[in-house]
A and B are shown apart, each in its own frame.
Chain A
Amino acid sequence: MAIRFLLNGEWRSEDRVPASTTVLDWLRGTARLTGTKEGCAEGDCGACTIAVARPRRGALRYEAVNSCLMLVPQLDGCAVTTVEGLAGPDGALHPVQAALVEADATQCGFCTPGFAMAMFAYAQGGEPAEEPIIHEALAGNLCRCTGYRPIVEACRKIAGLPDSAAQIAPDLQGVQAGMDYRCGDQAYFAPRSLAEIADLRAQYPDAVVLAGGTDLGLLASKERKSFPVTISTAQVAELQRVLVGRDGIEIGAAVTYTEALPHIEQHYPAFGEIIRRIGSRQIRNLGTIAGNIANASPIGDTIPCLMALEASVTLYAKAGSRSMPVEDFIIGYRKTALAPGEVIASVHIPLPRPSQQFVAYKLSKRFDQDISTVIAAFSLSLAGGGVKALRAAFGGMAAKSGRAKHVEAAVTGKPWNAESLKDIDALMAKDFSPMSDQRGTASYRLRAAANLVRRLQFETGDQSAPARVEAL
């Protein structure tokens, strides 16, 4: 079957593009739409940003994505707007474009199309023109010329534009994305159920399973690899669900960070803050929490949070499902307990218990869109001025995320004050032997990790002074 999608208002039908082709390469090459730029091919600079409206559980809205990390078959059944599609048929500038021009927000212009598309998605999201939100909306786009001030100014002016996805909704209605796509020696499957995924995995044991593709996309984009068989989870309705019940939040494996965020931050605001710092909106609009877990990166930001919260994963297999704690699921550097034939079906996060406080900290060289040097997540229960329980999980401290059990044991049952933490550096060194790399030396990681426990104590104690620079 051909891949069908709306591109700047016109239907395209593609059946001759290899499945591992990135959307960016296709746009610039086949479609000759060169307004979308390649700045890094790793989803960090945003010059390749486009807006995609994907029908998801009845909702349709434009979201910014990195076209360099997206494979063309992922567009099946979607609507795509690139910078070329912004201006009116008469050439009149879109309000986003006019705002950028009027604010003198372009210099070299190479990042501009990407900013325009990120702003296009932001402007229709109904969000207020508040600085923190604007920065969040722009965090996936780098500009090296302007110093951003005029771009932020332009962004402030275009908040609250009407939702243009509504106009294309009728066009997309009834368009069924294909179940499978083949071109040459590459196949791309978009099954509709977990059972079908399992069948495909049995049939193609070496197939890659693609959720958002923000990590796998790097292989296509940067390593120029192609995947003989790709199995997408995106069209499985049961994986797109978020169920909030009495015992917790059940997040389907195909639920994006963006979709999961409101549910998580309602109960765990600190987890929400961490999610808002994972990649950028472009990444979070495609990437999934299940994918973050499946990657088992030592610096995957959700993993320590999930460990501290005693979250679990449900693994589906034809023979039957099983659940296990995230902590047990991650077994090594980029290694999980996923058995052959299994697929992550969902992630379960328990709801907060009374007296439980959840706090998480991320340390990186840049606040937004950076890989953690150290990430810490704490689930703390205090009673009578002392620590009833502490689960402290860290990322960036070892080959896999893990708990600081010596630290936990040492503070549990003790008064919650600075004095109790005086040996924390030594305890941290017992728990972890981090490596030195471009993000930080081992000694910094240990020192900072210990200090994050101090910050936790300071913030959850009776102090009122600020303990984070971003609070100012």
Chain B
Amino acid sequence: MSARLDRIRGGAHASVRHDSAVGHVTGRSLYVDDMPNVPGTLEAALLLSPHAHARIRSIDVSAAMAAPGVAAVIVARDIPGRNDIAPIRTDEPLLPPELVEYEGQPVAAVAAQTLDQARAAAKLVKIDYEPLPPVLTIEEAIERDLYVSPPQLMTRGDIEAGFKSAVHRIAGEVHCGGQDHFYLEGQIALAIPGDGGDFQIFSSTQHPTEVQHGVAHLLGLPFNAVTVEVRRMGGAFGGKESQATIIAGVAAVLAWKTKRPVKLRLPRDDDMRATGKRHPFLIRYDCGVDADSRIVALDLVLAANGGNVADHTPAVITRALCHADNCYWLPNVRFRGLPCKTNTVSNTAFRGYGGPQGMIAIETVVDVIARKLGKTPDEIRRQNYYGVERNNVAPYGMTVEDNIVERMLDELDRVAGLAAWRESVAAFNRTSPIIRKGLATMPVKFGISFNRPALNQAGALVHVYTDGSVTLNHGGTEMGQGLFVKVAQVVAEAFQIDIDHIRLSATTTGKVPNTSPTAASSGSDLNGMAALNAANQIKDRMAEVAAEHFDVPKSEIVFASNRVFAGNRSVSFPELAAMSWEKRVSLSATGFYKTPKLHWDFATNTGRPFYYFAYGIAASEVAIDTLTGETRVLRAELLQDCGASINPAIDLGQIEGAFVQGMGWLTSEELWWDDKGRLRTHGPSTYKIPGSRDVPPIFNARILDDAPNREDTIFRSKAVGEPPLMLAISVWLAIRDAVASLADYKVAPDLDAPATPERVLKAVDAIRG
């Protein structure tokens, strides 16, 4: 083997560009709505319920059917199979047969020659409703015991004994709002009837398998009659996990009815009204603190607004309960999770999946303790961090083995100089009566793996062709997060060939079956391992061919630098591929992976739900206007643990993007329903996600150096999709800090999230008394 070998282009740990970057900037990357039209394709539109709660007395579709261009109108009774698309329970009709349970619920759908015809005709479907009183708030649902799934409980230790040993007791409540995903590409699906009753679905979905199952149920077909494909999504963030089935389901039923291809693309308002969002939470806390500022008892109620059906709510609640400890040792806890049922859109998966709300709970508690004891929140945190050898078991029974949060805090301090920074904020506040500044840090420990062990599996399909080119397919979906390029890097690394030789192909249930959603930050962990497994199988077979060719033991064969070596002799990778074919050796393999070590008891909410934790820490500085409540984030310093990052450039994009998205959730993004339960913020004119100016002028995101995952993950990397979103809680805490400055940091502000100007001004006026 020659002494110097060029490193391959685009192997593991290289900052390779997003595979579609050039397609993106030229507009050539195709999304579902950009695909060339199949001749005869019909366009579809939904009719949404104007009532939050109403009984359907009758439906008359005759006027809609008679409208120009209309090919079909469907309501619940037209669904040939099982009218249910619920992802976890069985409580969610695609179209409601008799009861509408939220404003914006799809009730009927129309397919017509043109989009305008379909939208016009949908308005002609006549529905006679008997309006019923809606339940709109979490409080009302709790009072009336209305839940979408059973309440959950997580306990550890002896909470009463904990309270007895406490010196201080604090109690209170805080609300945090929901969040619309606001993926730039709205929900869309194209359903094409195929040969022999098959259906091909192009869907903008994070979960092709669930769309496949949903469509099969609706049409009364076996799973193998439905193929779901997605090349890319224009953003998803959890919003295209279960929700995509609504759109694909309607398109499929219309396609079934008309025997023609049907495309359903939701206009933005319909998308925001009809599909689920991040769960708003009401958090009630009762906390005992000992003389050393240690939390010795914590009683939490985490009540989520689940909306009208369960959807993902039970699992979101579980994850919230599993993150209400954040980085802190809590010996005695009682966490209750209430999945409240209201007559609002059913809330669903959203980046963080309950984790952010769980952390809002504990960080509020930390903040309130600090003000009450006249200490800084950081002092309270230091007293309560998980230990390394002891005090290191999470409330659900998992030992926290990889805790690096204090190391990260030190590193953040080293680069950001927290003490001097804090002093500059204090100095500013001494001379500024109207504008006040606040500064806060936020540690994050986020559990990686789906709470439900079964979901932690993945498949991949790798083909090597005789020219040495490789096609890669896996069950993960590309929504912009860079999953495809990362998994391609894994395969490039395995074969030791340049990444350019690897072609990524659209995710389809026809190639890799029974997939998990691309969710829970797990995309590269799971699919990277499955792809590596497939590549290694082929590589092993090719190595055998090489060993025979060079007449050396297989163990002496080395893949490197686009070639395959036996000592000083070598063949190119394509030559070996061709040679393998000649020897009748298969160059195709399916790979499989399941995450080890996981177990979970749903009855007791105990076990080891996570393979490992991803850590992060942030500090943010804000300014608030005490006359108007306007806020501005001035500086944010982030440090994220990515293990040994597979692609630092991609990971940095995830960190920055997640932070800004989290910042939006906690500041400007406010979902607002009127007293009849009608969502009035259903477009970007009324629902304000951050713009470029809202990004802090000083914004430094860093990846923690030299921190390989102690668990055997793909090249020792860590998941990164969700964890940094929670770093943005530092912004909300900094706003609280700024408000607290008005009372010399002795009073905890009464501030909910999102901290809109109105809420901030209210908190300011309240704290000034």
Cβ contacts under 8 Å, B185 to chain A: 37, 39, 108, 110
Contact B680 A437 (CB under 8 A): yes
Interface centre among B624, B628, B630, B692 (most CB of A within 10 A): B692
Q: How far is the CA of A469 from the CA of B625 in the complex (A)?
A: 6
What 9 pairs across the A-B complex have the smallest Cβ distances? Answer: A35-B27, A108-B480, A110-B234, A109-B24, A147-B660, A147-B656, A107-B480, A44-B684, A83-B27
Contact B30 A34 (CB under 8 A): yes
- Chain A residues with a Cβ closer than 8 Å to the other chain, count: 86
Question: Nearest Cβ distance between residue A355 and chain B, in whole angstroms?
Answer: 25
Question: Nearest Cβ distance between residue B300 and chain A, in whole angstroms?
Answer: 29
> Is B142 located at the chain interface by the 8 A CB criterion?
no
Interface centre among A39, A109, A368, A440 (most CB of B within 10 A): A109
Closest to B20 in A: A109
Pick the contact of A145 from B120, B235, B628 — CB < 8 Å? B235
> Is A350 located at the chain interface by the 8 A CB criterion?
no
Considering only residues 619-675 of chain B, those with a C-beta below 8 Å from chain A are: 623-625, 627-632, 634, 649-650, 652-653, 656-661, 668, 670, 672
> Is A10 located at the chain interface by the 8 A CB criterion?
no
Given A101-B25, A108-B479, A224-B116, A149-B629 contact (CB < 8 Å): no
> Is A433 located at the chain interface by the 8 A CB criterion?
no
Contact A86 B26 (CB under 8 A): yes
Question: Nearest Cβ distance between residue B616 and chain A, in whole angstroms?
Answer: 15
15 further interface pairs, Cβ-Cβ under 8 Å (given A135-B693, A451-B628)? A33-B27, A37-B185, A84-B26, A84-B27, A86-B26, A111-B184, A113-B27, A143-B692, A369-B691, A438-B670, A451-B627, A455-B434, A455-B627, A467-B625, A469-B623
Contact A108 B435 (CB under 8 A): no
Which of B93-101, B220-228, B304-312, B757-765 is near enough to bind chain A? Answer: B757-765
> Is A335 located at the chain interface by the 8 A CB criterion?
no
Pick the contact of A368 from B184, B685, B691, B756 — CB < 8 Å? B691
Q: How far is the CA of A454 from the CA of B626 in the complex (A)?
A: 11
> Is B31 located at the chain interface by the 8 A CB criterion?
yes
A370-383: CB near B (< 8 Å → 1, else 0) gives 11010000000000
Given A111-B184, A148-B695, A438-B680, A97-B26 contact (CB < 8 Å): yes
Closest to A149 in B: B656
Considering only residues 12-54 of chain A, those with a C-beta below 8 Å from chain B are: 28, 33-42, 44-45, 47
Contact A469 B697 (CB under 8 A): no
Contact A467 B632 (CB under 8 A): no
Instruction: Classify the interface of chain A: helix, strand, loop or mixed.
Output: loop
Q: How far is the CA of A194 from the CA of B653 in the complex (A)?
A: 53
Considering only residues 91-114 of chain A, those with a C-beta below 8 Å from chain B are: 93, 96-97, 100-101, 104, 106-113
Cβ contacts under 8 Å, B761 to chain A: 444, 447-448, 451
Closest to B661 in A: A144
Q: How far is the CA of A39 from the CA of B181 in the complex (A)?
A: 13
Cβ contacts under 8 Å, A28 to chain B: 33
Given A152-B692, A371-B685, A145-B653 contact (CB < 8 Å): yes
Q: How far is the CA of A35 from the CA of B22 in the complex (A)?
A: 12
> Is B481 located at the chain interface by the 8 A CB criterion?
yes
Closest to B181 in A: A144
> Could you show 25 A-B contacts with beta carbons less than 8 Å apart?
A39-B184, A47-B184, A106-B18, A106-B21, A109-B232, A110-B185, A131-B697, A132-B693, A142-B184, A143-B692, A145-B480, A147-B653, A147-B660, A147-B695, A148-B695, A149-B695, A363-B757, A365-B668, A367-B632, A367-B691, A368-B691, A373-B757, A438-B681, A438-B686, A467-B625
Contact A34 B267 (CB under 8 A): no
Considering only residues 405-420 of chain B, those with a C-beta below 8 Å from chain A are: none
Cβ contacts under 8 Å, A465 to chain B: 431-435
Given A44-B684, A45-B684, A145-B653, A109-B480 contact (CB < 8 Å): yes
Closest to A469 in B: B632
Q: How far is the CA of A109 from the CA of B231 in the complex (A)?
A: 13
B461-497: CB near A (< 8 Å → 1, else 0) gives 0000000000000000001111000000000000000
Cβ contacts under 8 Å, B432 to chain A: 465-466
Closest to B233 in A: A108
Q: How far is the CA of A40 from the CA of B695 in the complex (A)?
A: 22
Q: How far is the CA of A44 from the CA of B685 in the complex (A)?
A: 6
Contact B267 A152 (CB under 8 A): no
Interface centre among B184, B627, B657, B661 (most CB of A within 10 A): B184
Interface residues of B (CB under 8 A from A): 17-18, 20-31, 33-34, 116, 119-120, 181-186, 232-237, 267-269, 431-435, 479-482, 623-625, 627-632, 634, 649-650, 652-653, 656-661, 668, 670, 672, 680-681, 683-686, 688-695, 697, 699, 701, 756-758, 761-762, 765
> Is A134 located at the chain interface by the 8 A CB criterion?
yes
Closest to A453 in B: B627
Given A42-B684, A142-B684, A438-B681, A110-B31 contact (CB < 8 Å): yes
Pick the contact of A104 from B269, B653, B701, B762 — CB < 8 Å? B653
Contact A82 B627 (CB under 8 A): no
Q: How far is the CA of A47 from the CA of B31 in the complex (A)?
A: 13
Contact A101 B435 (CB under 8 A): no
> Is A164 located at the chain interface by the 8 A CB criterion?
no
Contact B25 A116 (CB under 8 A): yes
Pick the contact of B694 from A366, A439, A471 — CB < 8 Å? A366
Question: Nearest Cβ distance between residue B32 and chain A, in whole angstroms?
Answer: 11
Q: How far is the CA of A148 from the CA of B653 in the complex (A)?
A: 9
Given A142-B689, A368-B693, A101-B184 contact (CB < 8 Å): no
> Is A146 located at the chain interface by the 8 A CB criterion?
yes
Interface residues of A (CB under 8 A from B): 28, 33-42, 44-45, 47, 82-84, 86-87, 93, 96-97, 100-101, 104, 106-113, 116, 131-132, 134-135, 138-139, 141-152, 222, 224, 361, 363-371, 373, 437-441, 444, 447-448, 451-452, 454-455, 458, 465-472
Contact A467 B435 (CB under 8 A): yes
Interface centre among B21, B435, B479 (most CB of A within 10 A): B21
Closest to A132 in B: B693
Cβ contacts under 8 Å, A363 to chain B: 628, 630, 757
Contact A93 B434 (CB under 8 A): no
Q: How far is the CA of A381 from the CA of B18 in the complex (A)?
A: 58
Contact A367 B693 (CB under 8 A): yes
Cβ contacts under 8 Å, B480 to chain A: 106-110, 145
Contact B757 A107 (CB under 8 A): no
Cβ contacts under 8 Å, A83 to chain B: 25-27
Contact A365 B757 (CB under 8 A): yes
Contact B435 A144 (CB under 8 A): no
Contact A109 B234 (CB under 8 A): yes
Contact B692 A139 (CB under 8 A): yes
Contact B634 A144 (CB under 8 A): no
Interface centre among A112, A113, A467, A471 (most CB of B within 10 A): A112
Q: How far is the CA of A469 from the CA of B757 in the complex (A)?
A: 12
Q: How far is the CA of A466 from the CA of B432 in the complex (A)?
A: 7
Contact A108 B656 (CB under 8 A): no
Question: Nearest Cβ distance between residue A301 and chain B, in whole angstroms?
Answer: 14
Closest to A151 in B: B692
Cβ contacts under 8 Å, B757 to chain A: 363, 365, 373, 440, 444, 448
Cβ contacts under 8 Å, B670 to chain A: 365, 438
Question: Nearest Cβ distance between residue A368 and chain B, in whole angstroms?
Answer: 5
Q: How far is the CA of A399 from the CA of B145 in the complex (A)?
A: 41
Question: Nearest Cβ distance between residue B272 and chain A, in whole angstroms?
Answer: 10
Contact B235 A106 (CB under 8 A): no
Q: How far is the CA of A34 from the CA of B30 in the complex (A)?
A: 8
Contact A97 B25 (CB under 8 A): yes
Cβ contacts under 8 Å, A86 to chain B: 26
Cβ contacts under 8 Å, A151 to chain B: 692
Question: Nearest Cβ distance between residue A104 and chain B, in whole angstroms?
Answer: 5
Pick the contact of A106 from B20, B236, B765 — CB < 8 Å? B20
Q: How far is the CA of A143 from the CA of B34 in the complex (A)?
A: 19
Contact A467 B17 (CB under 8 A): no
Cβ contacts under 8 Å, A138 to chain B: 691-692
Question: Nearest Cβ distance between residue A202 and chain B, in whole angstroms?
Answer: 31
Question: Nearest Cβ distance between residue A267 and chain B, in whole angstroms?
Answer: 26
Closest to B670 in A: A365
